[in-house]
Every structure is written in C-alpha cells, then in structure tokens.
C-alpha cells in the first residue's frame, strides 16, 4: 500500500433553487435536496449591505451562482460547498465602501 488514493474525489455540483439571507447567514437550497449555509461575514459586501440590497439578487450562471447587481457581488455554489470566503482585498473593499451612497 503506497498511501496514494486510488479514487480521485470529485465535487458534485447541483443547481441552486432557493436562496435565504439573514443578518448572519447566506443559505442556498440545491436541486438535489442539499442545503448550504455559510456565515454572511465571509462576504463583506453582503455584510455591509442593507436588507433591500441583499434581497435584490438573481440566481445566475445556469443555477450555479448568485448575483447581486446592487453590490457587484457574485457567489458560486462551488465556492460555498468548498467553504471559500471572499478573496476581495481590503483595499478593494475600502474603495467600494467609500463609493457607496449612505442608506
């Protein structure tokens, strides 16, 4: 036994059918019955958004992503399943925050 896996793990993606957003959580229900919930703090633009901005989203990418036009934010089901947080730099977020109209 060499310690090498004989099977390569793969990530089974399913399309998003419903999205729920609270002050703490972004959740997606998938077509295969799974649900994913991640902390909203992983995505600074969502955590700084107003409830109205958070609610203005569309399921995009043939069902594999979520897009918020008011926030210029896109989050994919693959990233959520893998537990990937936003990779936006502090400088980029700072520029975005500075350019926001105060609610």
Residue 42's pLDDT is what?
97
pTM: 0.85
In this structure, are residues 86 and 68 in contact, taking their beta carbons and an 8 Å threshold?
Answer: no
pLDDT at residue 5 tops 90: no
Give the Cα separation of 18 and 13 in Å (integer).
15
pLDDT in tens, 27-84: 999 999 999 999 999 999 999 999 999 999 999 999 999 999 999 999 999 999 999 9
Query: What's the token pair of residue 54?
Result: 């958070």
- Break the chain into its structural domains and give their ranges: 16-99
CATH 3.30.2020.40 fits 16-99, yes or no: yes
Give the Cα separation of 101 and 89 in Å (integer).
21
Nearest to 23 by CA among 53, 51, 52: 51
In this structure, are residues 53 and 71 in contact, taking their beta carbons and an 8 Å threshold?
Answer: yes
Query: pLDDT band for position 12 (50/70/90)?
Result: confident
């Amino acid at each position: 036994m060499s310690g090498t896996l004989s099977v390569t793990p793969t990530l089974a993606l399913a399309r998003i059918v419903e999205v729920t957003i609270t002050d703490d959580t972004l959740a997606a229900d998938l077509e295969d019955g799974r649900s994913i919930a991640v902390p909203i703090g992983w995505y600074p633009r969502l955590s700084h958004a107003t409830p109205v901005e958070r609610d203005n989203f569309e399921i995009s990418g043939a069902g594999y992503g979520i897009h918020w036009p008011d926030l210029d934010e896109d989050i994919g089901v693959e990233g959520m399943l893998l537990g990937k947080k936003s990779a936006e730099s502090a400088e980029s977020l700072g520029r975005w925050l500075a350019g926001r109209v105060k609610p």
